[in-house]
Amino acid sequence: SQKIEQNSEALNIQEGKTATLTCNYTNYSPAYLQWYRQDPGRGPVFLLLIRENEKEKRKERLKVTFDTTLKQSLFHITASQPADSATYLCALTGGGNKLTFGTGTQLKVEL
């Protein structure tokens, strides 16, 4: 069966460090992969989209990699800040722009 796996344990890091979150998938051949941020009591917010033929994409302090051979995406936040604390969701796109989400990883950035 198709699976999208994100680390269910919270990731705690110190302010200023780089946070790296992992998304692994099985039995998918996604054309696109997206990352979203979700704060408590709010809907997910779109961050980045990367295509299968792109290896890396950047946006300000964010960087996403997409390895279709390893079936893995890495999401990096450089110079992390307490305001980056949230749950980060990985989502894969198949046909029809239908997004299937992982369970998310909670990030806590401590002073």
Partner 1 sequence: EAGVAQSPRYKIIEKRQSVAFWCNPISGHATLYWYQQILGQGPKLLIQFQNNGVVDDSQLPKDRFSAERLKGVDSTLKIQPAKLEDSAVYLCASSLDYRTGIYGYTFGSGTRLTVV
3-state secondary structure of 15: coil
List the interface residues with partner 1, window 50-69 (CB under 8 A): 51
Question: Of these, 27, 42, 60, 83, which contacts partner 1 (CB under 8 A)?
Answer: 42
CB closer to partner 1, 69 vs 97: 97
Map tokens 């999208």 to a residue: 4
45 binds partner 1 (CB under 8 A): yes
Phi-psi region of 74 (alpha: psi -120 to 50; beta: other; left: phi over 0): beta
3-state secondary structure of 64: strand
Render 76-105 in DSSP notation, one character per residue: EESS--GGG-EEEEEEEE-GGG-EEE---E
Question: Taking contact as CB under 8 A, which single stretch among the options 9-17, 57-65, 71-79, 87-95 is the one that binds partner 1?
Answer: 87-95
CB of 17 to partner 1, least distance (A): 26
β-pair partners for 62? 59, 77
80 binds partner 1 (CB under 8 A): no
73 binds partner 1 (CB under 8 A): no
Using CB under 8 A, list all residues that contact partner 1: 4, 31-32, 34, 36, 41-47, 49, 51, 89, 91, 93, 96-104
